[in-house]
Structure formats: C-alpha cells, structure tokens
Amino acid sequence: MRTFGVEEELLLVDATTLEPLPAGEWAVDLHGGGPSVSGHQVAVELQQEQIEVNSPPQTTVAGQLEAIRTGRALAEQAALRVGGRVAALPTAPGRLSPHPVPDARYRRIGERFGITAAEQLLNGFHIHVGVESRQEAVSVLDRIRVWLPTLLALSANSPFWSGRDTGYASYRYQAWSRWPTAGPTEIFRSTAAYDRHRTRLLETGVPLDSGMLYYDARLCEHQPTLEVRIADVCLDAADAAALAALVRALVETSSRNARQPVPGVPASLLRTWTWLASRSGVEGQLIDPSTGTPAPAGDVVFQLLDHIRPVLTEYGDEATVESTMADILRRGTGAQRQRQAYETRQEARDVVADALKATHAGCATAERDGSVEPDGTPTGAVESAADEEGLSPLSGAG
C-alpha cells in the first residue's frame, strides 16, 4: 500500500480582529522549528501571514484525517503564542498588504518577481504519494495530468480577493498562475525528457532554483514522492483527507496502467480545462477527459471515481472517498461556504470567523485546552497556550 502525506499552508490571522497577522516567523520560532513528537513540522512560508504544516506519511484515510487535524492543532498552538489563529483559507477575503519573511531566498524572489511575489499570499494543499522510482513517477505524471483540473474543482475554496468576490471558485489558482513556471506540464514519457525540460527551465535564469518549478504536479526533489500541488487548502479536514486518498488511488491506478497509451492532451489545452475548473468548481461544468468537451461536474467526478475504484476498494478507501465526494457535490466546496458566510452582512470578518470553525472542527488540542469555544471563537487562548508551552503531547520537540 502506497504511503501518502500532505502539506497544508494556512492563513495566520489576529485572534481578535481576524485580520491577517504578519507574525508567522515569530510564531514558528516560539513553537520550535523541529519535528513534533507526532512527526509534524510547523514552518514559515513566503509571507509572514502564513504558517505551513508538513504531516508525516500515512497508509490509511483515517490516519490521514487524524494527521491533518493534528497538524492544524499544532499550527493553532503556534499561532496562539503570538495572539493569532490559523484558518484554512487559500486567499485572505479582505484587503491586505502581505509582509515577506526576511529570508535571503525569499528576498531574491521578491526582487526578481516584483508585484507577483508581493501579492502571493496564497495557501495550497500539496499531496505527496510514494513512488518506487523516478521513471515510475514520470509515467504516472503523464497519466494523471488530465484529472488534475477535477481535483482543483473539488478543492476550490478561494472566491475572494482584495475584498471582493472574484466570480471564481478558486481564484488562488488564477493568482498562482502568474508565476512563469506554474501550470500543467507537457507529456515527458521518460526521466531523461523530464530532466532535460527541468534543466532548460533553470538555464533561462528565470526560476531561481528547482524549488520554483511550480508545476501542477512534479517529482519531489528531496524525497521519493510524486507531489500534486494543484489543490486549494480545504476548509474541512475530512474533505482534505479524502482528496489525498483520491490522489493516492489515482497515482496507483496510473502506475498499473503504465502500458496503456498516455492521453495525448497538450499543456496549452489542459490550461483551458484547468481555467474552467478554477472558474466554476463543482457548481458548473468540467471537461470530460474522455471527450475533451464540457460535461456536468458530477458526471466527471463520478467518472474519475470509476477510474480509480479498484484501487479504492483494495485500499479500503472506497466508502469514505465516494461519500465525501458525493457530499462535496451536494453541498458545494469551501468556495460556496465562504460565499454563504459573506452573504448576510457582506463582511470579510464573517468569512474568516466561519472558516475558523470549519478549520478546527474535530481538532482535539484546541478543544481540550479551552482555547476555542463551541462556536469557534478564542477564549483566553494566548495565555493558556503560553502557560502550557512544551507540555502538550502534540507540541513541537524542544
């Protein structure tokens, strides 16, 4: 059974005002930079208003859900120490001016890419699936690429940007696409072709390093995994865990189908498929990979489930993944929930407050230490977290 792990980027907000809080580096330093006893690591990202959580590999969807909830609780502990909280929001609903982390690499990125880097307060959901070799990873990458727009649609959770409704279900993907190396990949067929493409991009001098090859999915540089990067961070931890399990099954299915022809869809065409997924999420139409034409989103999602069902069944994930996908199609994604929270008073604060409830539902640490009321609001959170620093079984080592 393939292992799979996730990285979540979370929005750091002030616990009182619910405005973005530029204190990510401070929060991580106070929390302790090393891995926790659970194997999670809390880290900084490009902007001070972000906290990233890297979770350890799992083998079951139930384990993945617990790992995601534990990671969110750890990030919340770090945020509480600086008077903040974390929300699973890919974009900040209100107006803001991000503050870059004073890291040498991030400073170079800011100098090179100007306003593109300055406005990149974007939180994604990265899924790592174990692979046996780089050749297997390239073979899988060539085959999963036509399904990545569907994954984006299922995760869509970013309708707001700079204080307004963008009309997109995932505006994060639109803003992310401003990076010159972002988006779908061409068909590679071999590791040699993948490496040639990688080298040619780096030789242009545009990306500073291989970490800036921001493909929708890529071979991980530092561990034997295929990294799927297209998704928005999800409001609901259960949605996130099911999506991660779906990706694992897609990777395994694609590996088993290595002798079948690679779908011959060029990256330029895939970009339009992904634009449609970013625009509509699951509320409209998606492109059916079997025909290349629009179809109801539910039909495309269930076609994907049919494609990977043998592996889902073998791994014991079928019931959880299928019921979660059906639930997303019924109630909508995080984008729809955000719009509902905004509708009554049309205030960004209401979106953030509701997102905090969704983010921490089921996260035992916040509920246990009294930092969160049943409605999701903080109650003396900063003081209680500071008093308990280093005592929680979930807190970072050291």
Q: What angle do CA 71, 182, 69 make, to 5 degrees?
A: 10
Provide the pLDDT confidence category of residue 394 given band limits of 50, 70 and 90: very low
Q: Provide the pLDDT for residue 27.
A: 95
Q: Provide the pLDDT for residue 95.
A: 87
Taking the C-alpha atoms of residue 234 and residue 78, their distance in angstroms, rounded to an integer, is 20
Q: What is the CATH number of domain 4-387?
A: 3.30.590.20
Give φ, ψ of 4 to 5 degrees.
Answer: -150, 140
pLDDT, averaged across the chain: 91
Q: Provide the pLDDT for residue 89.
A: 98
Question: Residue 313: is its pLDDT beyond 90?
Answer: yes
What DSSP state is assigned to residue 55? P
Angstrom CA distances, 293 to 195, 304, 308, stand at 32, 15, 21
Give the tens place of pLDDT for each residue, 112-129: 999 999 999 999 999 999
For 120-155, b where at least 16 C-beta lie within 10 A, e where not — what string? bbbbbbbbbbbbeebebbbbbbbbbbbbbbbbbbbb
Q: Provide the pLDDT for residue 375.
A: 38
Q: Provide the pLDDT for residue 362.
A: 85
Q: Provide the pLDDT for residue 22.
A: 97
Taking the C-alpha atoms of residue 119 and residue 99, their distance in angstroms, rounded to an integer, is 9
Give φ, ψ of 306 to 5 degrees.
Answer: -60, -40
Q: Provide the pLDDT for residue 284.
A: 94
Q: Provide the pLDDT for residue 139.
A: 97
With a CB cutoff of 8 Å and minimum separation 6, the contacts of 130 are 2, 3, 4, 57, 224, 225
Pairing of strands 50-54, 41-43: antiparallel
Give the tens place of pLDDT for each residue, 98-157: 999 999 999 999 999 999 999 999 999 999 999 999 999 999 999 999 999 999 999 999
Q: Which of 30-34, 96-100, 141-145, 253-257 has the lowest mean pLDDT?
A: 30-34
Model pTM?
0.90
Q: Provide the pLDDT for residue 278.
A: 98
Contact 129, 52 (CB under 8 A): no
Task: Compute the average pLDDT of residues 279-298.
Answer: 97
Question: Residue 376: is its pLDDT beyond 50?
Answer: no
DSSP string, 64-83: HHHHHHHHHHHHHHHHHTTT
Question: Residue 398: is its pLDDT beyond 90?
Answer: no
Taking the C-alpha atoms of residue 220 and residue 392, their distance in angstroms, rounded to an integer, is 32
The burial of 163, by beta-carbon neighbours within 10 Å (0-12 exposed, 13-18 middle, 19 or more buried), is given as: exposed
Q: What percent of the chain has pLDDT over 90?
A: 87
Q: Which of 84-93, 159-168, 224-233, 384-393 has the lowest mean pLDDT?
A: 384-393
Question: Residue 381: is its pLDDT beyond 60?
Answer: no
Contact 173, 270 (CB under 8 A): no
Task: Compute the average pLDDT of residues 202-209.
Answer: 96
Taking the C-alpha atoms of residue 376 and residue 360, their distance in angstroms, rounded to an integer, is 8
Task: Compute the average pLDDT of residues 206-212.
Answer: 95
